[in-house]
Amino acid sequence: PIQTNMSTETPATANPLPELVNAITAAFQTTPAPPSASGSPMAMPATFAGEAAECSGFLLQINLFIQMQPQQFPSENAKVAFLISLLTGKALQWAKAIWNSDNPIIHSYEQFTSHFSEVFSTTTGQLSTSDLLFRLQQGNSTINEYTLHFRTLAVASGWNETVLLGAHRQGLNPQISAAMSLYDDSIGLEAFLQRTTRVSQRLAACQLSTTAPQPTSVFACTPVPEPMQVDSSRLTRSERNRRIMNGLCLYCGQSGHLLRTCAIRPPRPVVSTLSTEVETASLTLVPITLHTPKTSLNISFNVVCINILYQSRRYRENHWGVGRSSIHHLPSHCRVPPSASSWDARGFKYIILNSAGIPAISSAGVNTVVAPVVLASTQIESPDPVSIPEIPAEYMAFQDVFSKQAATFLPPHRPWDCAIDLLPGAQLPKGRVYPLSIPERQAMEEYIKEALQQGFIQPSTSPAASSFFFVGKKDGGLRPCIDYRQLNSQILQQPYPLPLVPATLEELRGAQVFTKLDLRSAYNLVRVRAGDEWKTAFVTPTGLYEYRVMPYGLSISPSVFQTFMNEVFQEFLHRFVVVYIDDILICSQNMAEHRQHIQQVLHKLREHSLYLKLEKCEFHRPSVQFLGYVISAEGVQMDQGKVQAILDWPQPTTIKELQRFLGFSNFYRRFIQNYSSITAPLTSLLRGKPKNINWNPSAHGAFNQLKKIFSTAPLLHHPDPKKPFNVEVDASTTGVGAVLSQAVGESPLLHPCAYYSRKLSPAEQNYDVGNRELLAIKLALEEWRHWLEGATHPFTIITDHKNLQYLREARRLNPRQASMRRDTIRYVQSCSVCAMSTSPRQLPSGKLVPLPIPQRPWSHLGVDFVPPRSNTCILVAVERFSKMCKFVPLRGLPTAMETAELLFQHLFRHFGLPEEIVSDQGPQFISHVWKAFFKLLGVSVHLSSGYHPQTSGQTERKIQELGRYLRAYCYEEQHSWNRFLLWAEYAQNSLRQDTTGMTPFQCVLGYQPPLFPWTEEPSNVPAVDYWFRESERVWDSAHHHLERAVRHHKRFADRRRRPAPNYQPGEQ
């Protein structure tokens, strides 16, 4: 309740209050000058043993001593040596190690002190300066002690004066804070601190004077305690529904009456706000509380106070004060009819003064003039007496992100809207209408009304309908549920997986500060894709409705929301943000970086209209609870609340209870060594799907042992890939287990990073001891492959050496070991590196597949280049039908277009366009110019396979023969090789080919040009048709010999080849 002020008056002759007020006012207006500092001789700094709290003070003393006596420290080494001479204990041990290692920082005093501060200035779990300032309260300490502590923290915080002044005012005791409310923040921080000290001293003097004898005119009334409401917190929705369902009173929880007739329910208050400040010379104010029932006006007040008006919300409920140098307790309750303008309360007569129809209260029979106090009143219910969390000062600019009201508005459509795609031939759900009880109907109407106002649902005419009903909560409340099981079976599931929690937590290594954020409304922040709303329809007794936002209960909701959150925080993931559905964890290595990270996340949330639940957010914590784990800089440990639930778990009596216990404890199996072996007696009770539980002594022992181990489970450290890993494995007759461990810090002791265990199958239990140990190693390496494979340092496997030594000494192999050779060969053959680098020692794969035989000369060409050397190269073209070749000398490797022009100049203009050209994968032949050019000409272009020259073997063979010819004829005149190139071409085309049985000249021209001039004269009129028939005969003969040669070559080539594998598309 909010208080107003009542003025009371006593005889002026015995009232020293005006003098007291004048004295306090004079104290406020007088600010003494700070004393001048006087110099003092420098004392030798005290020794330092490594305590973090004393580090900054020790460095300050050292720096001052060096500055005041610089002549004693001529070098940087002298300063460092002086500092080390004052160290003791663990600090001296650290400095000794640095000095003996000849670390470069010992030659720089600034670097040494910086490193010194990093080592000794912080401790694990220590609160930051900002947290200490926020939590600083005066309490029972004096104002001087409180101000001194505040000044120390203020210097280290770096805050501005406005924020510091507010923090100082917040930590003051209520009396002093109320008195200082007369002064605003404009007077400055230093003046505010000084006046606070003066006011505190005056108030202390007034309280001391209350022990002196008082005049007889002073009223000393018996103090009456203020009425108190016990357990008056606001009802939760579930508790409210439970009381409605059972017909109980909503206020006291008893039966037999309703809320409006509850006898112990207090009246509803009139909340008043002060609109104008009273200016008086002498006025005694009484804080009161107004209540306005139907028949009377209730006034509750406690004590008389001096004329200090305070408006701080924090102190409106405090009743305190000083009147006539003493505290007077007045009646705590009196009743006045609403029409009365005055009343009597144990000798004190009061009247109600009206100002503009609004009641003001003052005392009657007084000699001073009282200015009217204007009050504005309204009748509302009392606010909940709960603690409201506050937004840290660094993030006050993002207050809208924590708004509860903004989260109730309909979110906009985004690219990540929930798409509900039905399977082909899907059957629409047809839900039934469930009858609801009276409390359920009231809860349903409230839910529907609220959701319609928020725009989350809308009336529907959908042909689909899912059932709507309520399920009870543990606290007796009601939770609305929609049965989407039939719809979930008919929709296309989202392939986007949720992140693995253990793997996600392993990325938090190196983090020192944590902040946890919780989204408000979660799934309701995502819209259903436009046009899919009708698929979410649900039927109620009052009608059919459909969701406009993503509802709970859809099987695709977690994947859709996780996709949305990952897209929002894409640039922050795996750096300093971990997101699991609606839970956000921010981790940083220092506080300055952490504040910047939080601001970036809040900016992203604002940008995408996402809102946080402030009461579930935790800021700047050295450890936080996240997804059932407690995360800190040291590592990950179990949530003690869940551990206590396991310890308090009663002995299971049914199969369902045992399954619940095993499922709950299995969540923390990575913290328990040999978990599977321990729980083997319990899991064996579930074998064969029994209907009743057969509890036996072994199961009872395993149940109690598991509880005991949970109470002593260790903390798992974050794996560090820069340090060597140790894998310790063990195997028993029922299961295998493994521990991944590392050394932490400088200590050689190993600390666990993760545990692994698995129960052996019946077949694996038949393995001998050596094979079980080997199986444990295999399973452990598979489990932690992502850490061990490619590790910076080789990892060590620790196991029972005797068990593995048995494998080396075994004289007989079992059937499983006999197949290891086949597995080894298969593994080696699947190695891609070996396949590319090792020469095959077997016959080439694939039978010989000859190219098709052309029907005429110069229809199918093979083109290639002799590699350029000394800026020269040769274009080689081979015609596959007659084996005729063409050699064109070039000064350099041509481009694709230049190559095409060369073919036109030397080949196409003589023999016409070919049907097909085969070449290798040179840059000219794979260019778009080459392909597009011959595509327009209607010529097919084919490329040979890489590293398989036999694809165009004729061209490659001609290049070899050309090389031998030039080396034989040009070794003496190597610079004139191009003069012999024409004769080489003539000789090649005059050479009889075994495949055709004739020379290329004879096959193409129909005759063989002489190697020397003919002696016989040619015919004057050659017969054209004879030449044509002779040419056809020659071509047919050449074709026959080509076919015979191809068959002959294929027969001999296939003797040294094996069938080609049947590759499928996508195989490697």
Looking at per-residue pLDDT, the higher value among 473 and 754 belongs to: 754
Q: How confident is the model at residue 9, as a pLDDT? A: 39
Domain 860-1013+1022-1053 has CATH 3.30.420.10: yes
Query: pTM of the full predicted structure?
Result: 0.45
pLDDT interval class at 218 (50, 70, 90): very low
Q: Compute the average pLDDT of residues 71-83.
A: 85
Q: Compute the average pLDDT of residues 565-576.
A: 87
Q: What percent of the chain has pLDDT over 90?
A: 4
Average pLDDT, whole number, for the chain?
Answer: 74
Q: What angle do CA 538, 544, 545 make, to 5 degrees?
A: 65
d(CA 404, CA 523): 15
For residue 159, what are the contacts with CB-CB under 8 A and spacing of at least 6? 133, 167, 393
* 102-122 tens-digit pLDDT: 778 888 888 888 888 877 775
Q: Exposed e or buried b for every residue in 145-156, given b needs 16+ CB within 10 A?
A: ebbebbeebbee
Q: What residue type is 588 in one-letter code?
A: S
261-265, 377-381, 586-590: which range is least confident on average? 377-381
Reduced to 3 states (helix: H, G, I; strand: E, B; else coil), residue 925 is coil
Q: Please give the distance of CA 45 from its chain centroid, rounded to a whole number.
A: 47
DSSP code for 746:
T
d(CA 346, CA 358): 26
Secondary structure (DSSP) of 140-191: TS-HHHHHHHHHHHHHHH---HHHHHHHHHHHS-HHHHHHGGGS-GGG-HHH
Listed residue (258, 262, 261, 260) closest to 248, CA to CA = 258
CATH architecture designation of domain 393-633: Roll (3.10)
87-91, 231-235, 1034-1038: which range is least confident on average? 231-235
For residue 969, what are the contacts with CB-CB under 8 A and spacing of at least 6? 980, 983, 984
Q: How confident is the model at residue 69, as a pLDDT? A: 83
Q: What percent of the chain has pLDDT over 70?
A: 71
Q: How confident is the model at residue 205, as a pLDDT? A: 65
> Would the pLDDT of 761 be above 60?
yes
Q: Compute the average pLDDT of residues 30-49.
A: 59
> Would the pLDDT of 338 be above 80?
no
> Would the pLDDT of 367 be above 50?
no
Q: How confident is the model at residue 14, as a pLDDT? A: 42
Q: What residue type is 403 in one-letter code?
A: S
Q: How confident is the model at residue 633, as a pLDDT? A: 84
Reduced to 3 states (helix: H, G, I; strand: E, B; else coil), residue 976 is helix
Third-level CATH fold of 636-811: Ubiquitin-like (UB roll) (3.10.20)
By CB neighbour count within 10 A (0-12 exposed, 13-18 middle, 19+ buried), where does 539 fall?
A: buried
Tokens of 696: 């036996």
> Would the pLDDT of 165 be above 80?
no
Residue ranges covered by each domain of the chain: 52-120, 129-210, 214-229+300-382, 232-265, 393-633, 636-811, 860-1013+1022-1053
Listed residue (1012, 763, 1035, 1033) closest to 882, CA to CA = 1035
Q: Compute the average pLDDT of residues 171-176.
A: 80
Q: Which residue pairs, CB below 8 angstroms and at least 24 apart, start in 159-166?
A: 159/133, 159/393, 161/185, 161/188, 161/189, 163/393, 164/133, 164/189, 165/189, 165/192
Count of Cβ atoms closer than 10 Å to residue 888 Cβ:
19
For residue 864, what are the contacts with CB-CB under 8 A and spacing of at least 6? 876, 919, 920, 922, 952, 955, 956, 959
Q: What is the 3-state secondary structure (H, E, C) of 804-863?
A: HHHHHHCCCCCHHHHCHHHHHHHHHHCCHHHHHHCCCCCCCECCCCCCCCCCCCCCEEEE
DSSP β-ladder status, 513-518 and 618-621 = antiparallel
Q: How confident is the model at residue 253, as a pLDDT? A: 73
Report for 467-476, 628-637, 895-904, 944-953: range of highest mean pLDDT: 895-904
d(CA 178, CA 180): 5
Q: What residue type is 864 in one-letter code?
A: D
pLDDT interval class at 515 (50, 70, 90): very high
Looking at per-residue pLDDT, the higher value among 594 and 159 belongs to: 594
pLDDT interval class at 213 (50, 70, 90): very low
DSSP code for 232:
-
> Would the pLDDT of 8 be above 60?
no
- The owner of tokens 């996240």 is 626
pLDDT interval class at 466 (50, 70, 90): very high
Q: Which residue pairs, CB below 8 angstroms and at least 24 apart, start in 493-497?
A: 493/555, 493/556, 493/559, 494/556, 494/559, 494/560, 494/563, 495/559, 496/559, 496/560, 496/562, 496/563, 497/559
371-380, 401-410, 486-495, 668-677: which range is least confident on average? 371-380
- Name 918's bridge partners: 862, 942
d(CA 744, CA 244): 57
The answer to whether the Cα torsion of 429, 435, 441, 443 is positive or negative is: negative
pLDDT interval class at 831 (50, 70, 90): confident
> Would the pLDDT of 519 be above 60?
yes
pLDDT interval class at 185 (50, 70, 90): low
* 920-939 tens-digit pLDDT: 888 888 889 889 998 988 99
> Would the pLDDT of 231 be above 60?
no
Q: How confident is the model at residue 354, as a pLDDT? A: 35
> Would the pLDDT of 55 be above 80?
yes
By CB neighbour count within 10 A (0-12 exposed, 13-18 middle, 19+ buried), where does 83 fall?
A: buried
d(CA 217, CA 315): 31
The answer to whether 42 touches 356, Cβ cutoff 8 Å, is no
Looking at per-residue pLDDT, the higher value among 541 and 134 belongs to: 541
- Name 625's bridge partners: 630
Count of Cβ atoms closer than 10 Å to residue 991 Cβ:
13
Q: What residue type is 952 in one-letter code?
A: S
d(CA 717, CA 741): 8
For residue 831, what are the contacts with CB-CB under 8 A and spacing of at least 6? none
Listed residue (581, 563, 474) closest to 517, CA to CA = 581
d(CA 803, CA 772): 9
> Would the pLDDT of 668 be above 50?
yes
For residue 112, what are the contacts with CB-CB under 8 A and spacing of at least 6? 80, 83, 98, 105, 106
Q: How confident is the model at residue 210, as a pLDDT? A: 46
- Name 545's bridge partners: 459, 538
* 447-463 tens-digit pLDDT: 898 888 888 999 998 89
Q: How confident is the model at residue 528, as a pLDDT? A: 92
- H or E element: which one contains 290? strand 284-291
Q: How confident is the model at residue 602, as a pLDDT? A: 92
Q: Compute the average pLDDT of residues 984-998.
A: 85
d(CA 427, CA 488): 11
> Would the pLDDT of 403 be above 60?
yes
Reduced to 3 states (helix: H, G, I; strand: E, B; else coil), residue 245 is helix
Q: How confident is the model at residue 21, as a pLDDT? A: 43
Q: Please give the distance of CA 299 from its chain centroid, rounded to a whole number.
A: 55
Looking at per-residue pLDDT, the higher value among 383 and 744 belongs to: 744
The answer to whether 509 touches 500, Cβ cutoff 8 Å, is no
